[in-house]
Amino acid sequence: MSKPPTRWIGQRTLAYRILAVNLLTILLLGFKVLYLDAFRNQLAEERLELISREASMSARALAAAAPPARPPVLQALASASDSRVRVYGPDGSLRMDSWRFTGPSYSLRDPAGQRWTKDLARAADRAFNALVGAKPVEDFSEPSRDHLAAWPEARRAKATRSVVTEVRNAPDLTPVWSAAAPLGDQVLLITTNDRDYTRTVRIQRRWLLGAMAIAILLSVLLSLFLARTIVRPLRRIALAAHRVRLGKAREVKVPRLPSRRDEIGLLARAVSDMSQSLRQRIDNIEHFAADVTHELKNPLASLRSAIEGLERVENPELRSRLLGVARDDVVRLDRLIGDISEAARTDAELARAKFEPVDLGQLIEQIVTGWDGRREKGSAAIAFARPLRSTAVVMGDPGRLARAIDNIIDNAISFSPPGGLVEVAAAKAGDEVRIRIDDEGPGVPEEAREAIFNRFHSVRPQDEQFGRHSGLGLAIARAIVEGHDGEIHVQDRDDAPSGARFTIKLPAADHA
């Protein structure tokens, strides 16, 4: 029985493709978020450093100027940076304010008066801050009483005698930068509302959103491509499987997809091999049914003729012969039906059998002992060269293996001449166990050495008792041996003038 090819298992990559496509957008999104967050943080650090240097230089410039010249210097410093510069005295009161000389250099915008696009931008700002886990920033508002105590950074600068920076959010979520620096026993405070910072960050975010849209589009296209490479072959496989199920076509070609080394290719080759195996099994069943019909017709026809003859024949001697024919036909039908049942069950039972270690030496010894007690072997003798215990061990079903070996011995006995010797031997050779059964019969012609294992093929000795063999014994033996991943073949003996040698090869058990 030929087996369909099964060497089709390759590397499974479909899961990696799906994972890669799904992770692509997430990785790109994560990269963009990290980049934008890092860009924003770096820009904020640079802006704080800039206003810190501005406060430090402004404090030194005012300290160097004479008191009467400080207002013009303050005005010049504020005009150069578009900032608001304030100086608080030792008591915390406001001594100088650049807006008194230059007017407001910036204004805090009311969100209620802005377009809806700004609301979307601010919503995106809040969403991004939540995504990256940014620390909350206080809202900025001018104190109702402009005093040093209203500015925490000014208080810290006075206490630590160092420059202190702070950032707050204006009502429209643009940053208000502030820096306080000590100025003798006074404190200088610079504040500015930097909309350029927000504009720069939002421009970068729009670019990244555009890139993300492209990445999403690319991911969708890749997903569609991946779905196409999955769905189309699956549809072809499903259609072929449906045609196999309907059974309308004798040969259904299931695509094997040899170029695919993923799960789809694995499935295609599995379904293809399954359909081939199913087709082969159906063909075997059809051939077997036809052979059974043919084999049953002959004894039934003979039995019917004998029974019909008994009704018309009055001669006692002829009636006795007809009864003998009917009796032989019944025996033949009984043996034939039993062997047919055995052959039909063999494959199914082997598929469900749980193999166990079997010592073939002990098993064959039991078979030979059983033959020695039978009358069917006539004058033939059986000699068994028993191997050492536990040296010829295989994994298998002991009952089925016994049936296969018994069938071969039965065949050898049936072809043995009167007083002939059937020799049986078993031994381990490398990673297999070999069973040899030799007889002293006429041997098997080379052109018939394969045919004798076919079902209902029977070339029996002329003197054999009628109906003793059904022609299924060797076929059952081969099915059992192949069900144990073994081989069976026949050849002429090379150590005797005539005779056949059957050799069974079975994989040795690992622990043997």
- Is 154:140 a contact under the CB 8 Å cutoff? no
Equal CATH topology for 14-207 and 353-512: no
Q: What is the pLDDT of residue 501?
A: 93
Q: What is the pLDDT of residue 5?
A: 46
Q: What is the pLDDT of residue 41?
A: 87
Burial 56-82 (b: 16+ CB within 10 A, else e): bebbebbeeeeeeebbebbbbbbeebe
φ and ψ at residue 125, rounded to 5 degrees: -60, -45
Task: Give me the residue label for tokens 């026949």.
Answer: 490
Q: What CATH number belongs to 14-207?
A: 3.30.450.20
Per-residue HEC secondary structure of 320-346 comes to: HHHHHHHHHHHHHHHHHHHHHHHHHHH
Q: What is the pLDDT of residue 174?
A: 92
Angle subtended at Cα 137 by Cα 46 and Cα 79, rounded to the nearest 5 degrees: 50
Q: What is the pLDDT of residue 474?
A: 86
At the topology level, CATH places domain 353-512 in: Heat Shock Protein 90 (3.30.565)
The residues spanned by each domain of the chain are 14-207, 251-352, 353-512
CA distance 332 to 465: 10
Q: Among candidates 349, 350, 346, 431, which has minimal Cα distance to 394?
A: 431
Could you give the C-alpha distances from 166 to 78, 95, 154, 177, 358, in angstroms and in order? 18, 22, 10, 6, 86
Q: What is the pLDDT of residue 458?
A: 61
CA distance 211 to 409: 80
Mean pLDDT per 10-residue section of the chain, whose length is 512 residues: 44 61 72 80 91 93 89 89 92 93 88 86 84 86 92 94 94 92 94 89 81 78 75 78 70 71 75 76 72 70 80 80 80 73 68 84 89 71 87 89 89 86 91 92 86 69 49 82 90 87 91 51
Q: Where are the beta strands (DSSP E) in 417-464?
A: 421-429, 432-438
Contact residues for 263 (Cβ-Cβ < 8 A; gap 6+): 12, 14, 15
Q: What is the pLDDT of residue 379?
A: 76
The CATH architecture that domain 251-352 belongs to is Orthogonal Bundle (1.10)
Q: Among candidates 394, 417, 415, 416, which has minimal Cα distance to 404?
A: 394
